[in-house]
Amino acid sequence: MFSYASVPPPSRLYWRAQLLGWTLYFAFNLLLFSVFGRFSGELLLITTAIVLPIAALTHALRYHIRANRWEQLPLLPLLGRLLVMNATLSVLSQLIIWALLIWVVRPSPDGQPHGWAQFLGYCLNVNFMLWLWAGFYFGWHFFNRYKQAEVDKWKLAAAVQEAEMRTLKAQINPHFMFNGLNNIRALVMEDPARARTMITHLSDLLRYSIQLNSAEWVPLRRELEIVRHYLELEAMQLEERLHYSLDVDPAALSVLIPPMTLQLLVENAIKHGIAPRPEGGTIQLTAQPDAATGQLHIIVRNTGRYQPQPGHNGVGLRNAQERLALLFGRAATLTISNDPTTADTVVAQLQLPVQAAVVA
């Protein structure tokens, strides 16, 4: 159910187009009537009585279009609605115009009122003008939508490229590689089996990072695998200071998400929450689809305190939020805050539409 109260006010461009278009139509009718008769004040009044109702009805039509979101309709359903609406407004406009003309006394040359044939002819004329108005109105909206889609496409391409570069430079950076290899080297003599396991984690993490360069989406199942590899490597470096748990609904495993999104949340939790604390902390990751809202809810809780600083928000998180906005619009959100119910706990919440994903 749509509300007319929710319709935004017209833009200046709309008012200028309305004023220009109907002024030209007024001038055309006045000129046409003047050709067949002498110009007079009554002729000016008659022309005004013809043009103003049509202009007012198109403005009302604009509210109906916006309130019912006709701009988002496919072409054929839109044409069907316009066919009915324009026919209705054509008849309504003529009833209003004829009432005004009778009020200003404009009988036919023989002193008798105009007949139904003339009424139908005038309706067809108004119907043509309404279709012309609708053509300009929807043509402008479709053109703007096309331009916005092109802008969004290039923004998304730039965001994806930036995310890939961020992954190569930040997620698997030389510092991380150096620490990981040093820890593995230390384990080679002490615990060869564990060292081999760590090498496997590191190689899988690198392989995933390379593969995502050509992937726009990955199943949550695949993202969780790389998160486990990442957590195992970090647990090796932080030793007993890092504890984690993963609680994922099986129904969520096939949902597609942008690659490295979940890994970024986990990395952020370790980097800003767990690692700075001498006693370490815990990470809890949950993922649950909501059939009622059609949303996938992902929550990452970690020990720590969230202290945002204006102008110093994480580049990775900001990029992730912008990328989600480009992919899903307002249907997806990514927020980070302190848990109001649990002390020293930070909560990162990611919501995105399940219907945007396919089963992998």
Kindly list the structural domains of the chain, giving each domain's residue range(s) and its CATH number in brackets, ordered by start. Answer: 4-152 (no CATH), 172-356 (3.30.565.10)
Q: Residue 103's pLDDT is what?
A: 64
Q: What is the average per-residue pLDDT within 201-227?
A: 78
DSSP 205-268: HHHHHHHGGG-S-EEHHHHHHHHHHHHHHHHHHHGGGEEEEEEE-GGGTT-EE-TTHHHHHHHH
Q: Which two tokens stand for residue 170?
A: 């930040």
Whether the predicted pLDDT of 38 surpasses 60 = yes
Share of the chain above pLDDT 90, in %: 23
Q: Residue 281's pLDDT is what?
A: 93
Rounded Cα gap, residues 238 and 319, in angstroms: 27
Three-state DSSP state, 303: strand
Rounded Cα gap, residues 360 and 309, in angstroms: 39
Dump pLDDT digits (tens) for 182-193: 777 777 777 788
Q: Residue 351's pLDDT is what?
A: 93
- Is there a contact between 4 and 67 (Cβ–Cβ < 8 Å)? yes
- Is there a contact between 289 and 251 (Cβ–Cβ < 8 Å)? yes
Whether the predicted pLDDT of 312 surpasses 60 = no
Nearest to 162 by CA among 150, 171, 174, 149: 171
Whether the predicted pLDDT of 356 surpasses 50 = no
Q: Residue 315's pLDDT is what?
A: 66
Rounded Cα gap, residues 44 and 204, in angstroms: 81
Q: What is the average per-residue pLDDT within 58-86?
A: 88
Q: What is the average per-residue pLDDT within 331-349?
A: 92
Whether the predicted pLDDT of 355 surpasses 60 = no
More confident residue, 69 or 169: 69
Q: Residue 68's pLDDT is what?
A: 84
Dump pLDDT digits (tens) for 242-295: 999 999 999 999 999 888 888 889 988 988 899 889 899 999 999 999 888 889
Q: From the centroid of its chain, how far is CA 283?
A: 31
Whether the predicted pLDDT of 237 surpasses 90 = no
Residue 92 CB-density burial (10 A; 0-12 exposed, 13-18 middle, 19+ buried): middle
Element (H, E) at 192: helix 192-211
More confident residue, 309 or 240: 240
Model confidence band, residue 24 (pLDDT cutoffs 50, 70, 90): very high
Tell me which range, 64-73, 135-144, 244-253, 309-318, is most confidently predicted by mean pLDDT.
244-253
Whether the predicted pLDDT of 217 surpasses 90 = no
What is the average pLDDT value for the chain, to the nearest integer? 81
Helices (runs of H) and strands (runs of E) counted in the chain: 9, 7
Model confidence band, residue 164 (pLDDT cutoffs 50, 70, 90): low
Q: Residue 250's pLDDT is what?
A: 93
Whether the predicted pLDDT of 357 surpasses 80 = no
Whether the predicted pLDDT of 171 surpasses 50 = no
Dump pLDDT digits (tens) for 94-151: 888 877 777 654 555 444 445 677 788 888 888 999 999 999 999 888 888 888 888 8
Three-state DSSP state, 186: helix
Sequence-distant (6+) residues with CB within 8 A of 358 are 254, 256
pTM of the model: 0.51
- Is there a contact between 262 and 296 (Cβ–Cβ < 8 Å)? no
- Is there a contact between 293 and 331 (Cβ–Cβ < 8 Å)? no
- Is there a contact between 252 and 219 (Cβ–Cβ < 8 Å)? no
Q: Residue 247's pLDDT is what?
A: 95
For the ranges 56-60, 206-210, 230-234, 295-299, the lowest mean pLDDT is seen at 206-210
Cα–Cα distances in angstroms (integers) from residue 83 to residues 25, 80, 131, 300, in the given order: 22, 5, 9, 52
Rounded Cα gap, residues 112 and 145, in angstroms: 51
Q: Residue 43's pLDDT is what?
A: 75
Nearest to 264 by CA among 308, 207, 223: 223
Three-state DSSP state, 191: coil
- Is there a contact between 242 and 265 (Cβ–Cβ < 8 Å)? no
Model confidence band, residue 2 (pLDDT cutoffs 50, 70, 90): low
